[in-house]
Amino acid sequence: MAQEDVFKKLVSHCKEYGFVFPSSEIYDGLAAVYDYGQMGVELKNNIKRYWWDSMTLLNDNIVGIDSAVFMHPTIWKASGHVDAFNDPLIDNRDSKKRYRADVLIEDAIAKIEEKIDKEVEKARKRFGENFDEKMYRETNPRVLEYTQKRDALHERFAAAMSEMNLEELRQIIIDQEIVCPISGTKNWTDVRQFNLMFSTDMGSTADGAMKVYLRPETAQGIFVNFLNVQKTGRMRIPFGIAQIGKAFRNEIVARQFIFRMREFEQMEMQFFVRPGEEMTWFNHWKEFRLRWHKALGLGDHKYRYHDHEKLAHYANAATDIEFEMPFGFKEVEGIHSRTDFDLSQHEKFSGKKIQYFDPELNKSYTPYVIETSIGVDRMFLSVLAAAYKEEVLENGETRVVLQLPAALAPIKVAVMPLVRKDGLPEKANEIINSLKFDYRCQYDEKDSIGKRYRRQDAIGTPFCITVDHQTLEDNTVTLRERDSMEQHRVSISELHALIGEKVSFRTLLQKIVNE
């Protein structure tokens, strides 16, 4: 099945089974804003717990905070967001639609890449087993022509972006003859800068309201609390502060479902280190974060690093962890070495000294920072995309199964009486009452057992327990495992341990440490 179709199916599966709903749906929705349903919120909470525990339990020098969404507006001046958190926008005069100029050009580059891939695929079919892809890419005249065109365009685009040369961005769009997907015309306006921060007014207008921003990242809440946490927690460098919270960006190109949203959630950790030691810690966090991803078992080949060649003015190293989404490898997490930029800026703008006295070195300095920043929603999408499977069974039937990492699954155990009588429902509820303190359980007595299994497969429940007449005699049940669909007769007294071994966060966290 084409990846595009897989993605469409995933989106409708999310809606059908209560994972993700479009926001304000009965009012026709609100673009790039989504609500998490009864299953989605559990999966999301489990992702957050996995991240939080990996930071604050596995690292005794990392503590958490929960700072406010609203912050003093000068914070965003100091951080550079007021002046530089912009996207270059262009309008089509005929359709009146607005686009990100950089995305239009990126799409044009992607189209050339598609042409190259098509040529390569055609040749692969023609030459069969003897096909040497590398040689073909290096020698075929048509592929070479496309490759040169792509590289030249990419170079011109990268230069225009690094200088934020808006005229040049427009000229590239004109020269490439890029048309508006709606009107089909090339009737473009100039390119303008558009700030991505949402703002609102705080306080009564009579007193003079203050313009405040909805935070576009959670990181600044950590920086401005650096001294509070360091002093009250008696933290010694190196140490980290972790935070999970909402962030808001007025994204113009909002597409690919929950990949790019206007309201989303971030899990960020700022790790404060001695100046000069930042590269050691950058490499440490780069490696730790990839282990965190891989421990989920979604497939090691689905991840790759993308090291940034062009760095933001405050960074001296940066890399993305990309995940293979149905629409290609995309950034899920960023790891940045942010130097002392943020703390120094807040010192400058607040007029308060923000330094750390290092007792070992017997001197004060502004700490350097390594940041790990991951979007909860993007992580959610990557987990679901990897977990979604359509399988043809031995009897020819198909099943849709979410092969979620067991610790992240919304429901851990479904308990099903074979029939709705003879005391089986009561026995099933007895089992739920013994498990529910540790595992989220669901009771299901409707339809055939086969249909009930399919329903649980579709929401990724790792275990189903069937209670039958034999259970009443010998206190055993059938335990059915989601992925293998194997069934075993086990004693009720064994259930707690058997389930725990598979679904506990402990198993997952141990993998990070032991890998």
Q: Could you tell me if 199 and 85 are in contact, meaning their C-beta atoms sit under 8 angstroms apart?
A: no
Q: Which is nearer to ligand GAP, 102 or 377 (CB)?
A: 377
Cis upstream peptide for 425 (omega within 30°): no
Q: Which is nearer to ligand GAP, 217 or 444 (CB)?
A: 217
* Least CB distance to ligand GAP at residue 511 (A): 22
* Least CB distance to ligand GAP at residue 367 (A): 17
Please give the Cα distance from 309 to 166 (Å, whole number). Answer: 22
**Of the candidates 47, 55, 244, 374, which one interacts with ligand GAP according to CB under 6 A?**
374
Residues 260-279 that bind ligand GAP (CB under 6 A): 260-261, 264, 266, 268
Please give the Cα distance from 9 to 402 (Å, whole number). Answer: 12
Task: Considering only the stretches 21-29, 226-234, 366-374, 386-394, report the one whose residues sit in contact with ligand GAP under the rule CB under 6 A.
Answer: 366-374
Q: Which is nearer to ligand GAP, 24 or 491 (CB)?
A: 24
Q: Tokens standing for 350? A: 């607040």
What is the total count of residues that contact ligand GAP (CB under 6 A)? 19
Residues 34-93 that bind ligand GAP (CB under 6 A): none
Q: Could you tell me if 160 and 154 are in contact, meaning their C-beta atoms sit under 8 angstroms apart?
A: no
**Of the candidates 372, 373, 442, 466, which one interacts with ligand GAP according to CB under 6 A?**
373
Helix (H/G/I), strand (E/B), else coil: 297 = coil
Nearest Cα residue to 334 out of 281, 269, 409, 248: 269
* Least CB distance to ligand GAP at residue 170 (A): 25
- Long-range CB pairs of 223-227 (<8 Å, 24+ gap) are 223/79, 223/270, 223/342, 223/343, 223/346, 223/369, 224/67, 224/71, 224/75, 224/346, 225/65, 225/67, 226/272, 226/343, 226/354, 226/367, 227/352, 227/354
Cα torsion angle, 195, 200, 205, 209, sign: negative
Residues 455-514 that bind ligand GAP (CB under 6 A): none
Cα torsion angle, 283, 286, 292, 294, sign: negative
Q: Is 198 in the site for ligand GAP (CB under 6 A)?
A: no
CA-angle at 343, arms to 338 and 345, nearest 5°: 100
What does each C-alpha distance from 312 to 82, 84, 85, 318 come to in angstroms? 16, 11, 12, 9
Task: Considering only the stretches 86-94, 221-229, 332-340, 398-406, report the one whose residues sit in contact with ligand GAP under the rule CB under 6 A.
Answer: 332-340
**Of the candidates 40, 221, 326, 375, which one interacts with ligand GAP according to CB under 6 A?**
375
Q: What string marks each residue from 223 to 262 as x (binds ligand GAP by CB under 6 A) or -?
A: --------------------------x-x--------xx-
Task: Considering only the stretches 130-138, 164-172, 370-378, 404-412, report the one whose residues sit in contact with ligand GAP under the rule CB under 6 A.
Answer: 370-378
Q: Which is nearer to ligand GAP, 369 or 406 (CB)?
A: 369
**Of the candidates 42, 87, 102, 217, which one interacts with ligand GAP according to CB under 6 A?**
217
Q: Could you tell me if 14 and 35 are in contact, meaning their C-beta atoms sit under 8 angstroms apart?
A: no
Closest residue to bound ligand GAP by CB: 375
Q: Could you tell me if 293 and 280 are in contact, meaning their C-beta atoms sit under 8 angstroms apart?
A: no
Q: Which residues bind ligand GAP (CB under 6 A)?
A: 217, 219, 249, 251, 260-261, 264, 266, 268, 331-334, 371, 373-375, 377-378
